[in-house]
Amino acid sequence: MTLVYEMTYKIKQFFIEVGELSHFAGRFFKEVLKPPYEFKELLRQCYQMGVRSLLLVAITGFIIGLVLTLQSRPTLLQFGAVSWMPNMVGISIVREIGPVITALICAGRIASGIGAELGSMRVTEQIDAMEVSGTNPFKYLVVTRIVATTLMLPLLVVFGDLIALYGSALVENLKGDVSFLLYFNTVFDALTFGDLIPATIKSFLFGFVIGLVGCFKGYFSNKGTAGVGIAANTAVVMASLLLFIVDFIAVFVTDIFYEL
């Protein structure tokens, strides 16, 4: 009976949290179009989440390109299909690997940062003070951060994809004596708008999910210092899980579109 009760309680809490997150997202869409617009804070958040993530995304993308090429090259050599390496790596990175890995990296850095920042503001009653003073804390703290992540993540994905392709081209240049110009020409010839458009749309959705979950967990953080750590931790876990769910839905819809 105790196990059944715990399972029932967890399922109930899951649906309650889904409902609260949906209500939080609805409030965001309601507030984002209403003036005043916090452009200064939005630019600051874009810098914090975009520019300061470039190095991490670059290192991750470069290693992905190296590893993917090094792992795939021996198999393609066995079948005499090493000339297909730029096509395979380019399509794999642009369609799936680049957006997902970049989003997961940003979920670990950005979602946890937002959760900890807003959680500490909730614990120290700074958000309550903003409400008392007549300022709209949701507009200033939440809307700007969600918009910033939604705008910055696609740019980070493009940057990460290019670095990953450069890493792959470097391996092919050293091991296969393929010039960088030939490699990138082959990659861009293999890519179509059907590869780029779904990946770009998916990147915007990933950015929205990361910002939404981070703000949701931090904004409603429990009182006490322990609540800040819990908010940061659960923001990363929940954002990562939702990223995979959104990715599955996007791939499923894209596959249906291709079949029509």
Which tens digits make up the pLDDT trace of 21-56? 999 999 999 999 888 888 999 999 999 999 999 999
Q: Is 44 inside a domain boundary?
A: yes
The reply to whether 241 falls in a domain is: yes
Q: Give the mean pLDDT of 206-232.
A: 88
Gap between the Cα atoms of 113 and 126, Å rounded? 17
How many domains, in total, are found in the chain?
1
- 4 in a domain, yes or no? no
Q: Which of 100, 110, 111 is nearest to 64 (CA)?
A: 100
**Is 5 a domain residue?**
no
Report if residue 6 sits inside a domain: no
In a domain, 20, yes or no: no
pLDDT tens per residue across span 119-131: 988 888 888 888 8
Write down the pTM of the prediction: 0.92
Q: Taking a C-beta distance cutoff of 8 angstroms, is the pair 145, 214 a contact?
A: yes
Containing domain of residue 101, as a range? 36-259
Alpha carbon separation from 75 to 66, 89, 179, 183 (Å, rounded)? 15, 13, 21, 19
Decide: 112 and 214 in contact? Cβ < 8 Å: yes
